[in-house]
Amino acid sequence: MQKKLFSLLGILTLAFTSEAQISKEKLDINFKQSLEKEQFLSPENVQYVVSSEYTTNHNGLTHVYCNQLVNGLEVFNLNADIHLNKDGKIVAYHHNFIANASKFANSNSSKLSKVEALNKALNSVGIVSTQMQTKTSQLENGKDVWFEPSLSSEKMMVKRGYIAVANQIKLVYQVEFLLDETNDWWNKKVDANTGEILEELSYTTHCNFENSSKNQHGSFVFESEVAPVILGKKASSGTYNVFPLPLESPARGQRSLMENMATANGSPYGWHDTNGVAGPEFKITRGNNVFAKEDTLNLNSATIGFSPNGGDSLIFDYEYNVDNKPRNNLNAAIVNIFYWNNIIHDIFNNYGFDEKGGNYQQKNYSGLGLGRDAVMADAMDGSGKSNANFSAPADGSSGRMQMFLWPTSGAASNNNILGVSYPSSVKGKFYGVQSVAGPRLNAARLPGRVILLRDSLIGQSATTNTGCGLIANSNEFAGNIVLIDRGGSCGTQSSVSRTKIKAIQAAGAIAVIIAYNTNGFTPTAVTGTDNAITIPSISIGYGTGVMLKNALASDSVYVTLFDSTEFNPARVYDSDFDNGVIAHEYGHGISIRLTGGPSNSSCLGNQEQGGEGWSDFFGLALTTRVWEKSATASRGIGTFVIDEDTNGVGIRNYRYSRNMAINPVTYNSIKLSSFTVPHGVGSVWCSMLYDIYWDMIDQYGFDPDWYNGKGGNNKTMQLVIDGLKLQKCNPGFADARDAILLADSINNGGANKSLLWKAFARRGLGFSANQGTSASRSDGTQAFDLPTSVTGLAGIDQFTNFNVYPNPAQSIVTVDVFGGASITGVEIYDLNGQLVQTYKNTNLMLPSATLNIQQHCSGYYLLKITSTEGIAYKKLLLN
């Protein structure tokens, strides 16, 4: 078997670079032992390919991320991660591979071409196009790539492979593309033979929160102390008037002019470089790490959008006033997100989110990892409101941050652009979104009668209203406002809507109202420019459209289009100035790329995962003030943008605090309906991390130097980042907990094991907590106990209906269960709480199990015995 295993592992180790310095022989030996402990059937038949691998500088760990191969193709959702120390020994290993997988494969030939699969994926979101059949793709990073701006503002990618579904491994095309309408970066698996969408995941994390207006800020009480940050050697950069680290928002302090902030290791040529040669390439807010610009018209363009120019001296100093209309703060907003994206980039470079780890850079100076993926940061994004999001495709494709305006309730309710004046049954003001194409509405009202477009359908009466083909009643349009449905057979993309508008304009209409044809979606603007469009148009929600059509069925309808924004005195907040929200969004880009490796952005789509929690934690940590204390620290998320005082609850169920009278959540809280997926579930994970954060600060102190500090805050951040690398794909809470504990064992020799276990156990993620499957948030069980390595072996209940013999043992140990029960599994843990062996009983009728334990060193171990009647723990001594 060993000879065969060496042969198959050649596939894995050929991808190793000299930087990893892990010998093939050591990897093979240790990997074989891991497979044997897993009791994996026929490991000699397993084949897989490395998607990415890199070595972390500070601890020397090499992280290898793989996908199983069937018939020479990747199985996209069968993943393995292997982590090796400097000696080539495996210190952590996870996989969901399938034994003898090739026999479950349904086919190796496909009926659909790659272009046809691309069109199927586009069709699933309402994009209909025939032009792709004539387009030629380019091969990039093993994927076929097309770029067609009329369909998507980003590259569209297709790769052939398999996915495991139920008891089959099905041939699919993986299609990745950005849907500009909703800003979702989709990964869709299209059945290569039927065209059915078998699986889909968005790389975009939306922080959708209902707008709230609570206690208004009034006059801010500035907490203006800004701790000095020691950067060491600095690279040449500019001067930026911003709300600097660690200020969370304008509610926490005043702006400062920050100079030469780029770090020599993170941004060695400054924040405005892109070519690795001394001297900036850009005088605007653009550089190697981020391109910050406005996108008020929701163009989603990689090149179009205003950015302030700092001149030859790179001085970015602009007016800001919280009471200004947002556009009057535009320059300051763009500079603030430029500064914070760069600060976060440089800080996390020191903790291991670097070039080889998959960070966001246009040029990777080391030559490791993939470049051409600087963050596209859009200020005052026009695609929505009261929101922010981050798209994190795989390494080599740009991350995209979109920061929205957050109108207070007064501003939101008065900025209507559709007023219905007749009939009285539907009279009122309703929300709509202006199209980018065509003239803009203003406070001058545009009145008109509404005419519902009727499609001309051959051989039947007109029952649709999409305007995709011939129009039955175009003779009624002159001088009127025409109502149509979005979508139809021609699709939902903006280019289609622009074509419809021009056709209606040609018939003499004075304006167009586009009603969403699907319920549950917030209307977004028709994007793109077209000088041929000379009439205004708006998009309205599904419910508003149904209301108008119902009224038109029995009467005439008269409306007025307008925009009252200019005359609305209510305050509109801008998330471009909420640094906690900025850090939160960037945090999604970190957790997604580190979990499962930088080439796989599909490892945080499960229900029980801490994506929102890691992001909240990053925001809280980076905005900690030096005077905060563990006993009194209590923080809400997003209090600034929702118009709350700084002591408000914010946009989570509770403020974050170690005080459980303020934040009482435990592991079981994720089952509650009030803790939604993903934000509510993530807040429970962050509550645990925030407890650990302050426990570590109590132990080691707080160091305001986030770059080179040695405080408890720095140590916690390192554990969290390393935990992301060490955890499995689609991790549950217990998986994430164990990864942090392992990181502490590797980085600190387990010095904080007791502290960490007690913090997790305090909120129900103790040693006996049962995670269940990470695909569900409702099947876990909390526990508040500690492992024997923390409590001592005397704390373990022996139970009388289980027997372990011989004990002490040398090479073989048998476990018996009585009372009619059957054994389902046994786990063996060492005194560090590390799982060292797993036994799964394939015959569930047996009341006994025999384990070979001769590979373990002498000493005490803990057996966790699972039976049909419950779980028991037994001490075991090996001689």
Active-site residue set = 585
The pair of three-digit structure tokens given for residue 551, joined into one six-digit string? 């009224």
Type and span of the H or E element at 138? strand 138-140
Type and span of the H or E element at 258? strand 256-259
Look at the chain and count its residues.
879
- What b/e string do you get for 110-148 counting C-beta neighbours within 10 Å, with b at 16 or more? bebebbbbbbbbbebbbbbbeebeeeebeeeeebbbbeb
Helices (H) and strands (E) in the chain, counts: 14, 37
Angle at CA 681, nearest 5°, toward 657 and 785?
70
Q: What is the 3-state secondary structure (H, E, C) of 474-499?
A: HHHCCCCEEEEECCCCCECCHHHHHH
Half-sphere exposure of 409 (CA within 13 A, CB side): 8
The pair of three-digit structure tokens given for residue 202, joined into one six-digit string? 């968005």
Helix axes 712-726, 579-594, angle to 10 degrees: 40
- CA distances (Å), origin 312, targets 215, 272, 284, 306, 337: 44, 12, 10, 18, 21
The pair of three-digit structure tokens given for residue 526, joined into one six-digit string? 């028709």
- CA distances (Å), origin 500, targets 411, 486, 507: 31, 10, 11
The pair of three-digit structure tokens given for residue 619, joined into one six-digit string? 């925001």
- CA distances (Å), origin 11, targets 42, 46, 202, 204: 17, 10, 30, 32
CA distance 617 to 689: 7
**Cβ pair 860, 876 in contact under 8 A:** yes
CA distance 770 to 357: 31
**Cβ pair 693, 714 in contact under 8 A:** no
Residues 6 or more apart whose Cβ sits within 8 Å of residue 749 = none
Phi, psi of 632 (to 5 degrees): -120, -10
**Cβ pair 796, 787 in contact under 8 A:** no
Nearest one of 530, 539, 476 to 508, comparing CA atoms: 476
**Cβ pair 65, 599 in contact under 8 A:** yes
The three-state secondary structure class of 680 is helix
First to last CA, the chain: 29
CA distance 621 to 578: 14
**Cβ pair 116, 137 in contact under 8 A:** no
